[in-house]
Amino acid sequence: MTTLARTKTDTCTDSRQGPHALTPAQLAAYHNNGFLSPLPALGPDLARKVLTKIETHESQYGAFPSKGLKAHLYLPWMNEVVRHPAILDTVESIIGPDILCWSSRFFIKAPGDGGFVSWHQDVTYWGIDVFENILTAWIALSPATRENGVMKVIPGTHRSIVPHRESAASNMLLRGQEVSVDVDESKAVYMELKAGEMSLHHGLMFHGSEDNRSNERRVGFAVRYIPTRVKPLDGLPRDSAMLVRGTDQYGHFDLEPDPIGDMDPAAVEVHRKATATYAEINRAAVKKHEAMIAAQQ
Ligand SMILES: O=C(O)CCC(=O)C(=O)O
């Protein structure tokens, strides 16, 4: 495996405030393993309400475009999820008090649809500094079980970066990317969650999931949080993100506005521009990371 210089996971100033702050033991486990699960997030009642809103939205507008990428930009009830205090208290413990929601997307698996997620590392295609302390809060809006294709991780894989290739058709990732190294499946930890709970995983963590063999829909919402100090890679189109806690003294990203109403036209336009820009960034970022990995081998 290609090992990068020490990531900033170890160097960030931990900030512990609010009732859902992590304990020192949980924080140590996160830094050591690269993930934490299960953790309280929305709770069962709010998770059920959000799921009902998603279903109503789908029945009105059809499936979310681009897997619901950044739906929090045009749906106030998804915006409330990315700003939920229990989630932000927990995230703050790891990345500090000044927090951007860089992105979000749904991972929805219908029974028997064959959708799976290959083993991959997130930050290799995000266009942001891979050395940084970046994480995903994966929020279960329905229960996530072994049978319905819960997310799995390989503990300790967040300390290095490996090359990726693009793979099979029913892969649910935007580019179908997967690590091009052998993965020891016997070490996989399956992060089962009740509706309203979440897991956290580091941006370099090897993770993936199998197909849904149950009779129920698995609905997950992955939210990507970064500290405001994180820099986009040089030479990419200017990216945007939403400030969800604290202040932004750096201005590395254009700050996205909160939506004022469901599908508000101005918010829909902000979303269209942000996702179009991200499509360009994603293509260019893959090439930059490949070049960086090759240079280190
Ligand atoms: O929901 C899944 O099965 C995979 C999620 C994932 O790959 C991610 O959050 O980056």
pLDDT tens string 148-160: 999 999 999 999 8
Alpha carbon nearest to ligand 1 atom 8, residue: 222
Six-digit token string for 204: 């370099």
SS3 51: helix
To test ligand 1's pocket by mutation, which of 69, 106, 107 has the most ligand atoms within 8 angstroms of CB? 107
pLDDT in the model for residue 206 = 96
Contacts of 77 (CB under 8 A, 6+ apart): 50, 53, 262
Residue 168 pLDDT class (50, 70, 90 cuts): low
The pLDDT of 178-191, averaged and rounded, is 93
Q: Token match 């302390």: residue? A: 133
Please tell me if the CB atom of residue 117 comes closer than 6 angstroms to any atom of ligand 1: yes
Alpha carbon nearest to ligand 1 atom 6, residue: 208
Six-digit token string for 215: 């009779």
Please report which helix (H) or strand (E) contains residue 78, including its range.
Answer: helix 76-82
Taken in order 277, 110, 116, 131, is the CA torsion positive or negative?
Answer: positive
Chain segment 31-85, per-residue pLDDT in tens: 999 999 999 999 999 999 999 999 999 999 999 877 899 999 999 999 999 999 9
Enter the pTM of the model.
0.93
Spacing of C-alpha 21 from chain mean position:
19
Please tell me if the CB atom of residue 222 comes closer than 6 angstroms to any atom of ligand 1: yes
Domain tally for the chain?
A: 1
pLDDT in the model for residue 132 = 86
Q: How far apart are CA 91 and CA 99, in angstroms?
A: 8
**Which atom in ligand 1 lies closest to the alpha carbon of residue 120?**
7
Residue 285 pLDDT class (50, 70, 90 cuts): confident
Parent domain of 139 = 2-296
What percent of the chain lies above the pLDDT cut of 70? 92
The mean predicted confidence, pLDDT, of the chain is: 90
CATH classification at residue 135: 2.60.120.620
